[in-house]
Amino acid sequence: MSDIMRATHGSHKTPLVIGNVSIPCYVLEDGRRVLSGNGMQKALGFKGTAGDWLIRFASAKKNAPYMSPEIYAGLENRIQFLRPSTGGSVSVTYGYEATLLIDFCDAIIEAKNAGDLVPSQMKYAMAAEMIMRSVAKVGIIALVDEATGYQDERPRDALQNYLDQFLLKEYAKWAKRFPDEFFENIFKMKGWTWRDAYTRKPQVMGRYVNDIVYDRLAPLILEELRKVNPPNEKGNRKAKHHQFLTPDVGHPKLQEHLAGVIALQRVAGVSWSRFLDMLNRAYPRYGHTIPLAFSDDSKK
């Protein structure tokens, strides 16, 4: 059993709920999102206990033309893995990659629209349409993460979704001027989860960036950036401030500053106040008094 992949997240108590059906779902050690094979069959309306219904349905003469090579590959590569069981033990189970459900639903609907489903199979098409109305192929990943609790451990994916909320799409590609770790560390110190990213106001992070970076990068730099990159009537700017930094001086200085800030973030751990204290000492805002440290004796 040591060679079998383990599920790191998910259990029968945390199913993926789509409409009025529930499907046990898991995230494996390698990051694959997996749905229970039996759960998929039940979600599509199959009432029996046979574990090969998906394969038999896909191989039926009238259904086969609608099944893509990806579907056949997914069905043939059924995933065996270890999942948590009652009493702290583990048990072997079987499943399929989560996106296979969407591909399978799409194929059933195509067969139905072409008139190639027999009357007894129409219930499968109805179930497939319900599933397709409830989720999209991209969304299935997020839904599995939500059900299993994996969403707090996928910062790279969530970060880009968060950045897209407060970056104009045409300028989103410039976000990598700021390393992912810069934003991740702020989330940790503020005690936010990545789920908070979808409800927290973008302006909060904007203020932090101005304070931590541009206010401390060079004298009057933030004031000048606000002049050349003013907000419109809705409060949005046409670009990000760092796009106005020069490539020979401005960008290297920004990267040097961010490297120092990230080092302070690492030392501060999860303490926001400790980070700000070190930041004010190492990179004081231009025009502000530098805080001085005194020993207890000198204070007396």
Residue 189: band (very low, low, confident or very high) from pLDDT cuts 50, 70, 90: confident
Max mean pLDDT among 9-18, 72-81, 155-164, 253-262 falls in 72-81
Give mean pLDDT, residues 13-29: 83
pLDDT digits (tens, 9 = 90+) for 96-153: 998 899 999 999 999 999 999 999 999 999 999 888 877 655 466 666 776 777 666 6
**Cα separation, 138 vs 218, whole angstroms:** 42
Q: Given this model, what pLDDT does residue 116 score?
A: 92
Concatenate the DSSP letters of all residues of 242-295 into one string: GGGS-TTTHHHHHHHHHHHHHHHHHHHTT-HHHHHHHHHHHSPPTTSPPP----
Q: Given this model, what pLDDT does residue 40 score?
A: 93
Identify whether the C-beta of residue 146 lies closer than 8 Å to the C-beta of residue 188: no
Q: Is 35 helix (H, G, I), strand (E, B) or coil?
A: strand
Q: Which residue has the tokens 């409800």?
A: 199
Max mean pLDDT among 46-55, 135-144, 216-225 falls in 46-55
Looking at the chain, the whole-number percentage of residues with pLDDT higher than 70 is: 66
Q: Given this model, what pLDDT does residue 106 score?
A: 92
